[in-house]
Chains A and B, each alone.
Chain A
Amino acid sequence: MALGSLLVLGAAHAQKVEFEEFDLSNGLHVILHQDKSAPVVVTAVMYHVGAKDENPERTGFAHFFEHLLFEGTENIERGQWDKIQAAHGGTGNANTTDDRTYYYELFPSNNTELGLWMESERLLHPVINQIGVDTQNEVVKEEKRMRVDNQPYGNLFAEVKKNMFKVHPYRWATIGSMEHLDAATLEEFLAFNKKFYVPNNAVLVVAGDIDTKQTKKWVEQYFGVIKKGEPVVRKKYEEAPITQEFHASYEDPNVQTPMIVEAYRTPAMTTKDARVLDLISSILSDGKSSRMYKKIVDDKKMAMQVGAFNYSQEDYGLYFVYGIPMAGFTTQQIQKEIDDEIVKLQTELVSEKEFQKLMNQVESRYVSQNASVDGVAENLATYYMLYGDVNLINTEIDIYRKITREDIKAVANKYLKPNQRLILDYLPAQEKAEN
């Protein structure tokens, strides 16, 4: 098949994600999505609370809650959460970002009601006590050691954030400070719960093999009794623009090879520019024919790894470009190669053919991201809570399709300027002479 014929083919007809949404009188937003292709139901709640809502002296609270709220409720004894889940053939978990916290269960479809009950228990009356706090305090420390402190390049993200944000709470790591968690009192945890874990700060998603009418009844029955909380008021943090390139370095005892990192501050996830930056990442490092990979890793063999990614969040984004040199090359040489590619984006339009490749990649990603019912559930919650439009699950692809080659050039010029960036030298730790 000749390449030319590919270009004229129409867009993929991904299944449209049907959903309905409504509010309970306590302010809880509810989204239902029916998919009867497998006997699975997801019950999930996303709370609009993340690391950025924390007191700067108590960082790590949001993630800590993700642990604490498995400890038990008035009707689910401590240690029973996982057992109840397992006893009904289900699984579940939770995760936390700087912007939100997400809890979910997957059950065979005859346990929809149970999933709703469990999530309503978590919101209505979780038991937050000293035993739970003390245990999870230790567990979270182990999580940090495992995911961050014992991993090569594990502190990369934390170091970039620390340098890129001066006033915005994105400046601290999501997992937070262990000293802050040690210092926190039970009263502070209870206050955090009261402030953020309220129905008017949450969205409930029920997706999968459900009977819509019955599900609505259960939602009303289990969540309707929960009292509305005080409105959550968020402070706006405005970062002063970066106007001069600045340098930082970090030493990691788990690495033997340095990494060079460039980081740029970018706009919120809801903007068109954030999506343009996604495309720019694809141009630079998505696939073996991407520009940076092909040139720096494949042709010139200067780097072991290069990558570019756009990390978009609710208030700001971060654009990272990084490279790990091969033996015989320096991080400065890698940086020069990376910078040449960025300049090229700023000065030349991408070709029609390369642009078509981007559109195909976008389309392929779009079809995959709604392939599983748990993926759909999380996307529905995210589009509602962080983008303010659930229907983006079906229409976001149109925003990408409207991006032009000129937009790509303009956005590269607007955000990826040398005077707006951090250069981070991520280095192997110097051996200490004596331990």
Chain B
Amino acid sequence: MKKILYLLAGLALTANVAQAQVIPMPKPGPAPKINVGKPETFTLPNGLTVMVVENHKLPRVSYSLTMDNAPYAEGNKKGVANMTSALMGTGSKNMPKDKFNEEVDQLGADVNVWGSGAAANGLSKYSGRILELMAEAALYPVFTQEEFDKQKNLIVEDLKSNEKNVPSIARRVKNNLVYGKNHPNGEYLSEETLNNVTLADVKQNYDTYFVPGNAYLVVVGDVKFKDVKKQVTKLFGNWTAGKAPSIAYSDPKDVQYTQINFVDMPNAVQSEISVLNVTNLKMTDKEYFATIIGNQILGGGGGKLFLNLREKHGWTYGSYSSIGGDKYVGNFGATASVRNAVTDSAIVEMLNEIKNIRTNLVSPEDLENAKAKYIGSFVMQIQKPATVARYALLTQTQALAADFYENYIKNINAVTAEDIRAAAQKFFFVDNARIVVVGKAADVLPGLEKTGIPINYFDKWGKAAEKPVTSKPIPAGVTAKTVLDNYIKAIGGEKAVKAVKSIYTKSTGKSAQIPAPIVFTMKVADHKQLVDMTIEGYGSVYKQVVNDKAGYRNGQAGKEEVTGDELKELQASAVPFEELGFLTDAAVKLTGIEAVNGTDAYVVKKGTGSYYYDVATGLKIGEAHEEGAGAEKQVSTTYYSDYKEVKGVKVPHHVIMNIGLELDLTVKEAKINEGVSATDFQ
């Protein structure tokens, strides 16, 4: 039988060869000669630098004014810059709004002005008037309360209309989490901060930041340099000199361990995934070329991410990575929009690809192709007038060497596979990656939990949140009492459970963040508790003791007394089985059914604590406790499994605690009513 199949396969093969016409791939011709053009430039006394690229191919012209100001945070007035941009172009000193709009349209031109620049384009026969209009709107804006109110309402409506827009929420949250809420890149606009902005703030913002000190005006098209110079001098010469303030912000910190930051959007049909870390890559860095080539191989069009997630698995329309090259802090990000069901698998593969480029040398073929792609695109772009202007501008604003673009091809060609691996290790993270996932919790959370990557939850504004409840309806007749009764029955029955006076467990543990073996001891008896953690080679690193009078904890930060409400809470929970107390506590509520690590569990809440009981077995499989409030709020979770009987009562022998770091504990020794003495709690 096998032999026949071989024969058939052979036949099919020959048939194919006979049909196909082998037409060899053509060889490239001689490389086109390139010439890196330079604009003609001049600078006005107020600091404005003007760059002109004459090109008479088409009868059109474009102007663009940019200000190379340092980024700044707006804090509780986030929205000032948005408002300044919205108000500019709504009337100026010498032209009411309607007249201005009418004339711009009349010319068939586009003129736009905003808080940090301006742009205009149109037919070159109107080049002079177009520049006049742009200068008028940019330099002589009038800010009125009426327009302020109107533009504000428009922004508010726009914010509202995007509140269910999954990609838009993902953009906001990821910047907020990566850069932090106080960083210019991390803060976001909200109705609340917009309400703090006044017309006076807008005027001040314009006066402070719309200044010629670091400004560039780029002119491209069917115009003559000498005409432009004359006209710009006339129109922009009076622009009051000034430089925008430059405030330094401390660079955002990466997460200490790789984690998922999850935002629940119940309407999502795709999850927006971003694997992120902070970078400081400048175009002048020696690793710059190796990094962009490495990024091209990893996450360019047809790169590793694309081939894996799209072409191999069909999980996404496209997966890409990007890294900025800028004098200010930026970030690396690998992204994909994938259908809900494959969210966890996609994350695993994305991390694998990043790991791979950090660990292994890229193949000579991949390296050559990526270089060719960059060089080809450079060759195709470089002769275009807009490119000449753009490169000249970057040379100035990014402080590039004067011959940066002359040497561009040479520098790309010099990149080696080793350079790329080193750059990847420096700029693409896997151990400190923040994986922001915005998606539908009910569909994707069970899978995400199975990846074993710690998950923190956030709301759509980037604030810490509780794990989303994707609850299922509670069957009739089930109450908190029946759930708790079932649990007690499942672990041995009320009589056996009530006979437990103390529990002692000694566990060995491991943690991704701790390189050495851990020993974890816990003793509980009648409102007293001892927790002790030792790490091989370090001794005891954490000890917490609670007795009926006082409590303390002794960790890396030194010894600290536990007092007040916290002490009361710890004392209350320092019993072998809290559930015995819950049975008679009116504050205990059954809130629903949720999936915990893929298992349906009843959720019982008491205060800020949640307790999860397996719907099928009745056993407790987890608990979660909130600590702190507001942005500082943290949730600690503990998962229980592998129940084994000890003196007639079932005790979990596998415990995973997540308290900022994750501890995976295996109980080696468990004793009931022995191994505990009063001196343990001193």
Contacts and interface: CB of A to CB of B under 8 A. Distances in A.
Contacts of A435: 266, 442, 470
Given A86-B372, A106-B380, A289-B104, 20 more contacts: A39-B34, A75-B24, A76-B25, A83-B302, A87-B373, A108-B32, A135-B312, A141-B339, A142-B270, A152-B165, A222-B23, A254-B267, A257-B157, A304-B157, A324-B157, A326-B154, A327-B153, A361-B108, A367-B60, A428-B164
Interface stretch (B122-130, B237-245, B543-551, B555-563): B122-130
Interface stretch (B80-88, B208-216, B313-321): B313-321
B538 to A, nearest CB: 47
Given A121-B23, A255-B164, A89 B106 contact: no
B29 A110 contact: yes
10 contacts: A3-B103, A12-B124, A39-B380, A83-B369, A87-B369, A110-B31, A142-B270, A257-B161, A304-B161, A326-B157
B100 to A, nearest CB: 8
B29 A150 contact: no
B34 A288 contact: no
Contact of B161 (A75, A117, A141, A255): A255
Contact of B105 (A111, A137, A141, A287): A287
Residue picked from A14, A84, A136, A139, most chain B C-beta under 10 Å: A139
A60 interface: no
Contact of A117 (B25, B126, B375): B25
Contact of A253 (B28, B109, B125, B164): B164
B104 to A, nearest CB: 7
Contacts, number: 247
A256 B30 CA distance: 57
A37 B125 contact: no
A91 B123 contact: no
B337 A86 contact: no
A115 to B, nearest CB: 9
Nearest to B24: A75
B227 interface: no
Contacts of B30: 110
B377 A89 contact: yes
Contact of B267 (A88, A253, A290): A253
A273 interface: no
B339 A142 contact: yes
A134 B123 CA distance: 49
Contact of B376 (A89, A290, A371): A89
Q: Lowest 4 A-B CB distances belong to which pairs?
A: A89-B376, A138-B314, A82-B302, A360-B108
Contacts of A139: 310-311, 314, 316-317
Interface in B96-124: 97-98, 101-109, 122-124
A146 B317 contact: yes
A83 B29 CA distance: 19
B32 A89 contact: no
B7 interface: no
B150 A301 contact: yes
Contacts of B163: 256
B338 A37 contact: no
Interface in A362-390: 362-365, 367-368, 370-371
A344 interface: no
Interface in B267-291: 267-270
Interface string A279-299: 000000011111000100110
A357 B337 contact: no
Interface string B134-171: 00000000000000001001101110111111110000
A10 B46 CA distance: 38
A13 B101 contact: no
Interface string B159-190: 01111111100000000000000000000000
B129 A91 contact: no
A107 interface: yes
Interface string A28-67: 0000000001111000000000000000000000000000
Contact of A364 (B22, B122, B165, B473): B122
Contacts of A141: 314, 339
Contacts of A365: 108
A150 B102 contact: no
Nearest to A39: B32
Contacts of B369: 83, 86-87
B23 A357 contact: no
Contacts of A190: none
Contacts of A146: 270, 316-317, 337
Interface of B: 19-26, 28-34, 57-60, 97-98, 101-109, 122-126, 128-129, 132, 150, 153-154, 156-158, 160-167, 266-270, 300-302, 307, 310-317, 337-339, 365, 368-370, 372-373, 375-377, 379-380, 383-384, 442, 470, 473
A326 B122 CA distance: 32
B95 to A, nearest CB: 12
A126 to B, nearest CB: 11
Residue picked from B302, B316, B377, most chain A C-beta under 10 Å: B302
A86 B302 contact: yes
A289 B102 contact: yes
Contacts of A147: 317
Contact of B59 (A113, A134, A142, A367): A367
Contacts of A90: 373, 376
Nearest to B149: A301
Interface string A184-208: 0000000000000000000000000
Contacts of B302: 82-83, 85-86
Contacts of A294: 98, 101
B370 A86 contact: yes
A141 B267 CA distance: 17
Contact of B375 (A89, A106, A209): A89
Nearest to A259: B161
A84 B312 CA distance: 18
A134 B312 CA distance: 10
Interface in A123-174: 124-125, 134-139, 141-143, 145-147, 149-152
B125 A356 contact: no
Residue picked from A222, A289, A294, A361, most chain B C-beta under 10 Å: A289
Contact of A136 (B101, B165, B314): B314
A27 B442 CA distance: 56
Interface string A78-114: 0100111111111100000000000000111111111
Contacts of A371: 58, 60
B161 A91 contact: no
B369 to A, nearest CB: 4
B23 A117 contact: yes
B108 to A, nearest CB: 3
Contacts of A13: 59
B592 to A, nearest CB: 11
A121 B22 CA distance: 10
Contacts of B126: 6
Contacts of A38: 380, 383-384
B290 to A, nearest CB: 18
B311 A79 contact: yes
Interface in A347-366: 353, 356-357, 360-365
Interface string A322-349: 0010110000000000000000000000
Contacts of A14: 58-59
Contacts of A39: 32-34, 379-380, 383
Contacts of A243: none
Given A1-B128, A84-B25, A37 B57 contact: yes
A75 B23 contact: yes
A137 B311 CA distance: 11
Contact of A367 (B58, B157, B158): B58
Contacts of A9: 125
A139 B58 CA distance: 40
A143 B317 contact: yes
A109 B160 CA distance: 49
A356 to B, nearest CB: 7
Contacts of B28: 88, 110-111, 114
